[in-house]
Amino acid sequence: MSNRQISTKQQHKQYGIFYHSVNLSIMTSSFNKKGLHMKYKGIIFDLDGVICHTDKYHYLAWKQLADKLGIYFDEKINNRLRGVSRMDSLEIILENYNGSLTATEKENYSEEKNNIYKRLLEDMSPSDLSKEVKDTLDQLKEDGLKLAIGSSSKNARYILEQLGLEGYFDAISDGNNIEKSKPDPEVFLKACEYLGLSPKECLVVEDAKSGLEAAIEGGMDQAAIGDAVYTQLATYDLATFSDLLKCIR
């Protein structure tokens, strides 16, 4: 838990959002150009499972590789890969491998998976970006918040391009500029750095436990969406993406 959160979790429902702890970030909050009180100056989004949903493409790519290696792979194992880097994901899959691979072979298989995944991503288009997500992002921008991507994926920029969001975000921190994947906070701390903001001025939106843990370790408040809601770790639990607008004021 962040140092800026009271250790005793008080759970109450307000405006459709569950608040698990008292948020002290108001002490460092500001007002936007419209004079509205804002709790944060920046929002950092995970990409897969938050802005868009590419889980099916990841699953199909890993399944094809696992089948080639004779490794059992299913949706349950795939869920363990959420928010995890490609090489770390391969290591999880190899837990069910009877043989052994050299470091070079692992690199080659990791690249093979990525090539399969990228071919599948060619089918993505702006139609894969929901109206709710785009409208919410537009409103956050209008409210004067800086927006960033904090993703372990090395394909983040390509995915954003496919969605029609190339150049939309103020900063992108992804698998190409980090050495440690989530739950290490590096990807989010770099996003803060790129935005020119401190961690306490930023809110992280995540759909995976490892991402929430990374945000907590980095000293940022967190908004959980999707399966991450069930971890009970986050500052806020979102029922829908647009609920994010209720967290910032």
Which residues participate in the annotated binding site for substrate?
A: 46-48, 62, 81-86, 89, 113, 151-155, 182
Q: Is 55 a catalytic residue?
A: no
Marked catalytic residue, from 48, 170, 237, 243: 48
- Which residues, including other chains, have CB under 8 Å from residue 105's CB and lie 6 or more apart? none
Question: Exposed, middle or buried: residue 55 (CB in 10 Å: 0-12, 13-18, 19+)?
Answer: middle
Paired strand residues for 172: 149
Could you give the CA distance from residue 151 to residue 46 in angstroms, rounded to a whole number? 5
Given 3-state DSSP classes, what are the helix, strand and coil percentages for the chain, each rounded to the nearest 5?
45, 15, 40
Could you give the CA distance from residue 148 to residue 150 in angstroms, rounded to a whole number? 7
**End-to-end alpha carbon distance in the chain:** 22
Annotated binding site: 46-48, 62, 81-86, 89, 113, 151-155, 182, 206-207
Q: 30-31 and 37-38: which strand pairing?
A: antiparallel
Q: Is 88 a catalytic residue?
A: no
R_g over Cα of the chain? 18
Annotated binding site for Mg(2+): 46, 48, 206-207
Could you give the CA distance from residue 20 to residue 216 in angstroms, rounded to a whole number? 13
Marked catalytic residue, from 46, 174, 237, 243: 46
Q: Return the active site residues.
A: 46, 48
